[in-house]
Homo-oligomer: A and B are copies of this chain.
Amino acid sequence: MRVILPELKELIAGREEKLIRDLFRFFDPVDVAEIWDDLSDDERVYLLKTVDIGDSVDIIESLKTGQQKEILTILPKDNVKAILDRMEPDDRADLLFALPEVERKKYLELMATEEEAETEELLHYPEDSAGGLMTTDYAYAYDDMRVSEVLKHLRKVARDFDDFHYIFIVDRDNKIKGQVSLKDLITAGPRRPISDIIDQRVVSVLPLADKEEVARVFAKYDRPSIPVVDRLGRLKGIITSDDVIDVISEEATEDMHRFAAMTGETGDYIETGTLTMARRRITWLLLLTFAGFLSGYVIESHSSILKYIIALSFFIPVLTGSGGNAGMQSATMVIRALATGGISLGDFFRILRKEVLIGGVCGVILGVATALRALLVQKNPILGLIVGLAMFLAVTLATTLGGVIPILFKKLGIDPALASGPLITTIMDALTLLIYFGVAITIFSLI
């Protein structure tokens, strides 16, 4: 079920307060985000002022940061305050994080004291750390309570937050002792001490853990939420799986962009300006063009042999191309397996052996195909021998290098995704040409 744009516009035009409010008994406010760009500023403000505060908070939370910033500047102060005070602490911190210092201060002052302090604390953590992902709105109870007391306590505080799954159990020093699922809580006898049903198998992350690490912990342990706990064992907040779903998707995007040799932040395609995008791409393009001159130099220093048998030049693109393609395949395979934990640094020799073999198999097939082409089209068996052998060697080497370079990068503390497709194809261009002319010279010297 989706909010239908013309209907919503009509309801707003007719100032149908009650109908608009009722809409959100059936539609998720998230759906409004999808048609946000099609609403005028007046319509947006009217909508946010009309629906229940909970729904208007949900609408704001599901907008993109740029859209959030925009609407906050045109909404009346009272509404901004009401919305900010009720936003999820993590979403609110993300929004404020994106604002310039001055505006951030202005909004912080607008907020209720407790929310302000909460937000200030969250703003201390780097945006892509566990602390930057976590929310401070979580359900907790003390380890000396009974089941009935916990339930009573929860009923009292439940209105403060959206929803929860686990109740985190802490001692009076806020040190985490374990967790209880709501399900276990309602099925346990009310007189039992909470420590009877506590699950002590807490999987937690440190506040400064990188968000990639957080994503891996979620992927491994299959839990709906994971607590953020400092080195002293104190509960600082929790991260919920919906935030991690976004992280996993963003991380994959980041890796892909790096693999395509793009630098900088991976913003929204539509929102990002043309020049910003060009800047993200040109750094590596330029570097790789300079590196590409190396290949030119290799050809230049062998131009005498090339003049002697010009047909050698016909095979330059297919050789460098296939070398690049093969290298890109193994690099992609290994980079992705490193990112998802499918392989680790200890697997170096296993990977080396495997990629050499795969490269050899592919190299033989492509080598034969290329040799046949030279034999059938150029009718030149010597040329066939040269290009076939060069193809075999280039593909085997490319596959091997594509597989091991990302691992070496990781060993050196460099992001393996930087072993990009363009980097590998450019390196392979020069190496393939060296192999090619080397093979040609050797064979000519033998006959």
Chain A interface residues toward B at CB < 8 A: 24-28, 30, 62, 139, 151, 154-155, 158-159, 163-165, 181-183, 185-187, 200-201, 203, 215, 218-224, 240-242, 244-246, 248-249, 252-253, 255-257, 259-262, 268-270, 274-275, 277-278, 281-282, 284-286, 288-290, 292-293, 295-297, 299-300, 303, 306-307, 310-311, 313-318, 320-322, 324-326, 328-337, 340, 342-343, 347, 350-351, 354, 357-358, 361-362, 365-366, 369-370, 373, 391, 395, 421-422, 425-426, 429-430, 433
Q: Is B262 a contact of A245 with CB atoms below 8 Å? A: no
Q: Which of chain B's residues have a CB closer than 8 A to the CB of A270?
A: 342-343, 347, 350
Q: 14 pairs across A/B with beta carbons < 8 Å?
A: A154-B183, A163-B165, A163-B183, A218-B245, A252-B256, A256-B335, A261-B329, A262-B329, A269-B342, A277-B333, A277-B358, A289-B318, A289-B366, A295-B321
Contact of A221 among B26, B28, B297 (CB under 8 A): B28
Q: Which residues of B contact A328 (CB under 8 A)?
A: 260-261, 421-422
Cross-chain contact B30 with A222 (CB below 8 angstroms): yes
A288 to B158, CA, bound (A): 60
**Which of B182, B281, B350 has a CB less than 8 Å from the CB of A358?**
B281
Give the dominant DSSP class at A's interface: helix
| A395: chain B residues within 8 A (beta carbon) | 285
Chain B minimum-CB-distance residue to A340: B249
- Contact (Cβ within 8 A) B261 A242: no
Interface centre among A183, A221, A342, A357 (most CB of B within 10 A): A183
* Residue of A158, A245, A354 most packed against chain B (CB within 10 A): A245
CB of B224 within 8 A of CB of A358, answer no
A290 to chain B minimum Cβ distance, whole angstroms, is 7
A307 to chain B, nearest CB (A): 6
Q: Which residue of B lies closest to A307 (CB)?
A: B310
A222-B30, A245-B241, A269-B337 known; A321 vs B183 contact (CB < 8 Å): no
B25 x A361 contact (CB < 8 A):
no
A325 touches B277 (CB 8 A): no
Known: A270-B347, A307-B307. 12 other contacts (CB 8 A): A154-B187, A158-B186, A182-B186, A186-B186, A224-B241, A244-B245, A245-B245, A260-B331, A260-B332, A268-B342, A282-B361, A299-B313
